[in-house]
Amino acid sequence: YGSDQPYHLMRIYSLANSIQNGIFPVKVHALSCYGYGYASGFFYSDALLYFPAILIISGCSLTTAYKIFAFLLLSLNYAAMLFSVKRITNKWSGAVFAASLYISGTSVIQSLYVDFAIGSICGSIFMIIAIAGMYLFLARDESPLTLILGFTGLFYTHTISAILTFTVCVLILLFHINYIKCKPYKLIQLIFSVILVLTISASYWLPMLEQMKAQRLKYLTPWTTESDNISNLHAALFGTRGIGLFIFGALVFCFFTSLFLISRSLQKKKSLTENLYCISVFTFLGGIYCFLPMLATPWQLLNSHGMTLIQFPYRLYFPAAILVAFAFGCAVSEIKLQPYNHKLMLV
């Protein structure tokens, strides 16, 4: 369907123009639609786009402002993955490998350079934080602050990414359902976290719902559906909108690593370590999100009931890449290395 470059560059330039004319916050982009305006700000949060808009106001060209912004997004994605995996594994070696794998994957590269999917690449920063926060909240009994930060950021960057992250967190919750039964206060904390996220992000979703309810001009038939955009194995591995060979290869590596470590633990009659459990959970979930875009039946069933949530199943490759990177970082941290090898990997 082509690149979203003209649309997102228009959003940035229109934000700068509106701020210069004393309009803030900007909900209606006055320069779009031949000067009639387009209210994309109600349905597509512009929170992070204010940064390149301010650069334009400061004297940068649109091209320069976007290049700085793109570099910042790539750096934030790397940093989010690096520190999230470091918190999960407590080792820099796994964190560096996970972050390097993730930003070199097809999902990040194609979103930034092919599709110009600024919403997805902005949302992925907070998707990483939210998934890591959910795991740490349940597996380590940590505070839900990281989870709250992740979902608040998702609401203010990309709604579809928030929906995808919610599905991942529900699956992680199901893996820890027995833990929740033993400690019901965790469920209370989770409910409180949801209320807090909805309260903080109300300035985005309340006007959006109001506009959806008040709008008289509505479409009845979606312009495309998930079942129209089913992927296949060749497209998944080699296509610009696939999971890519790097991430898929890491998934296969994590799968066999987890099998080997589990079988070794069973032979020695030892219980599974937390890190091995982490590898297994993230590998399993990453595999689900890798293969779902290639399965027609679930999407046809969803569309037959009038539900079109994400339009393109290949959007699932973003959470898949994040989950596989988490698993890969945990797997690498299990490998015993000499100190000089750790230093080499950090370099």
What is the Cα–Cα distance from 344 to 278, expressed in whole angstroms? 25
What is the Cα–Cα distance from 281 to 268, expressed in whole angstroms? 21
| Dihedral, 47, 51, 56, 57 alpha carbons, nearest 10 | 80
Closest by CA to 328, choosing from 276, 253, 273, 256, is: 253
The pLDDT score that the predictor gives to residue 40 is 85
Provide the angle, in degrees to the nearest 10, between the axes of the packed helices 317-334 and 245-267.
40
Give the mean model confidence (pLDDT) for residues 123-142. Answer: 94
The pLDDT score that the predictor gives to residue 336 is 64
What is the Cα–Cα distance from 276 to 12, expressed in whole angstroms? 44
Question: 144: which residues sit within 8 A by CB, 6+ positions away?
Answer: 133, 137, 189, 190, 192, 193
What is the Cα–Cα distance from 158 to 120, expressed in whole angstroms? 6
Residue 347 CB-density burial (10 A; 0-12 exposed, 13-18 middle, 19+ buried) = exposed
Whether the pLDDT of residue 342 is over 70: the answer is: no
What is the Cα–Cα distance from 327 to 209, expressed in whole angstroms? 37
Q: What is the pLDDT of residues 147-175, one digit of tens each?
A: 999 999 999 999 999 999 999 999 999 99
The pLDDT score that the predictor gives to residue 305 is 79
Give the mean model confidence (pLDDT) for residues 226-232. Answer: 89
Amino acid identity, position 42: F
Closest by CA to 151, choosing from 141, 161, 140, 139, is: 161
Instruction: Grade residue 337 by pLDDT with cuts at 50, 70 and 90.
Output: low
Q: Are 45 and 155 in contact (CB under 8 A)?
A: yes
Give the mean model confidence (pLDDT) for residues 272-297. Answer: 90
The pLDDT score that the predictor gives to residue 218 is 65
What is the Cα–Cα distance from 91 to 226, expressed in whole angstroms? 39
Q: Are 150 and 165 in contact (CB under 8 A)?
A: yes
> What single string gives the DSSP state of each residue in 75-120?
HHHHHHHHHHHHHHHS-HHHHHHHHHHHHTSHHHHHHHHTS--HHH
Question: 283: which residues sit within 8 A by CB, 6+ positions away?
Answer: 251, 254, 255, 258, 323, 324, 327
> What single string gives the DSSP state of each residue in 137-202?
HHHS---THHHHHHHHHHHTT-HHHHHHHHHHHHHHHHHTHHHHHH-THHHHHHHHHHHHHHHHTH
What is the Cα–Cα distance from 229 to 250, expressed in whole angstroms? 25
The pLDDT score that the predictor gives to residue 130 is 97
The pLDDT score that the predictor gives to residue 262 is 83
Lowest mean pLDDT among 215-219, 240-244, 260-264, 280-284: 215-219
Token duo for residue 91:
């080792």
Whether the pLDDT of residue 242 is over 80: the answer is: yes
Average pLDDT value over all residues in the chain: 88
Q: What is the pLDDT of residues 178-203, one digit of tens each?
A: 888 888 899 999 999 999 999 999 99
Q: Are 325 and 287 in contact (CB under 8 A)?
A: no
Whether the pLDDT of residue 94 is over 70: the answer is: yes
